Amino acid sequence: MSSKSSGPGDIPIRFVDLQKGEDCSYLVDINHELWKVNYLSFYLTEPELKVEGRWVPLNFDENEWQSKKASLLQFHNACDASANNTHIKLNTNVKLLARATSLRFSMGLPFKENHAPVAEQVAPLNNAAMFQSPRVGHSFMRLELQDAKNSTSIWSFMLASGNCQSEDSKTPPTVCQYPNRVTVELPMAQNVSNLRLNARLTQLLFRADLRAQAECNMANPGSASCEKVMRNLTSREWLRWDAPDKVYLR
């Protein structure tokens, strides 16, 4: 889905460092090597606006990609825009946005919803490709890259809760030692409109060694290269307002 803005809470996201490939996939240059983007998707929950120093909770507009409480963003299909969801749609109004100084989300899901079997979930939490098991729950972010010159070389990253304790993989846990829910906060200037976000995959993968470990699943202990991606996710500006005149910046 790549619709035009239809309301004040419609916020498009564009990965500006992706280039269209020849087979309906996107390409990205990482460390001077081209990689195909086989999968790129993440969940956002708990949308809030900071207004006069207080956080005001919001809901998402309900559609095929969003419930009131969760939004699934997806970016990897270069040919069929309807197979992607590149817009956050918030249930808000112009007056509230005009008073806001920051917007934040959680990249993650509440514990109960995270670990419920995918067959019992409703959209967007019924996406089987984003679900690992009742013990682990969903991948909050899933990224899969394929070496453009070597189709057998695959690298993946899955943000998920770690060290979840249960009797077996089919049983939901009672606790996860590492929830791994990431807060995404985006400072805003007041009295702005037409909010747009730019994302950069190269910032997420900055100085990450994609050859060191083929799979980075944060549900399990990871290597230094996997931890580097996690640090980039929480500390680098991989997602920011499209603001060439710095109108959105503090």
Q: How many domains does the chain have?
A: 1
Q: Which residues contact 243 (CB under 8 A, 6 or more apart)?
A: 249
User: In this structure, is residue 91 part of a structural domain?
Assistant: yes
Both tokens of 158, joined, read: 């899955």
User: In this structure, is residue 249 part of a structural domain?
Assistant: no
User: In this structure, is residue 1 part of a structural domain?
Assistant: no
Q: How far is CA 212 from CA 49, 156, 171, 221, 232, in A?
A: 39, 12, 32, 14, 17
- CA angle, 15 as apex, 14 and 19 as ends, to 5°? 115
The Cα diameter of the chain in Å comes to 54
Decide if 154 contacts 214 (C-beta within 8 A).
yes
User: In this structure, is residue 246 part of a structural domain?
Assistant: no
Decide if 161 contacts 137 (C-beta within 8 A).
yes
pTM: 0.94
Both tokens of 174, joined, read: 């009672």
pLDDT in tens, 194-204: 789 999 999 99
Give percent of the chain with pLDDT exceeding 70.
94
Coil, strand or helix: which one is 219? coil
pLDDT at 223 (0 to 100): 75
Q: Mean pLDDT in the chain?
A: 92
Report the C-alpha gap between 249 and 232 in whole angstroms.
20
Listing DSSP states for 76-119 in one string gives: --SS-GGG-B-EEEEE--HHHHHHEEEEEEEES--HHHHHS-GG
Distance spanning both ends of the chain, measured CA to CA: 31
User: In this structure, is residue 5 part of a structural domain?
Assistant: no
pLDDT at 218 (0 to 100): 96
pLDDT in tens, 83-109: 999 999 999 999 999 999 999 999 999
User: In this structure, is residue 199 part of a structural domain?
Assistant: yes
Listing DSSP states for 124-145 in one string gives: TTT-GGGEEETTTEE-SEEEEE
Q: Which domain holds residue 163?
A: 10-241
Both tokens of 161, joined, read: 């809760």
Q: What is the mean pLDDT of residues 110-129?
A: 95
Strands annotated E in the chain: 10-15, 19-20, 26-30, 33-51, 54-57, 59-60, 70-74, 87-91, 100-107, 131-133, 137-138, 141-147, 154-159, 162-165, 175-178, 182-187, 197-199, 215-217, 239-241
Cβ neighbours of 87 (radius 10 Å): 23
pLDDT at 1 (0 to 100): 46
pLDDT in tens, 125-162: 999 999 999 999 999 999 999 999 999 999 999 999 99
Q: What is the mean pLDDT of residues 114-133?
A: 96
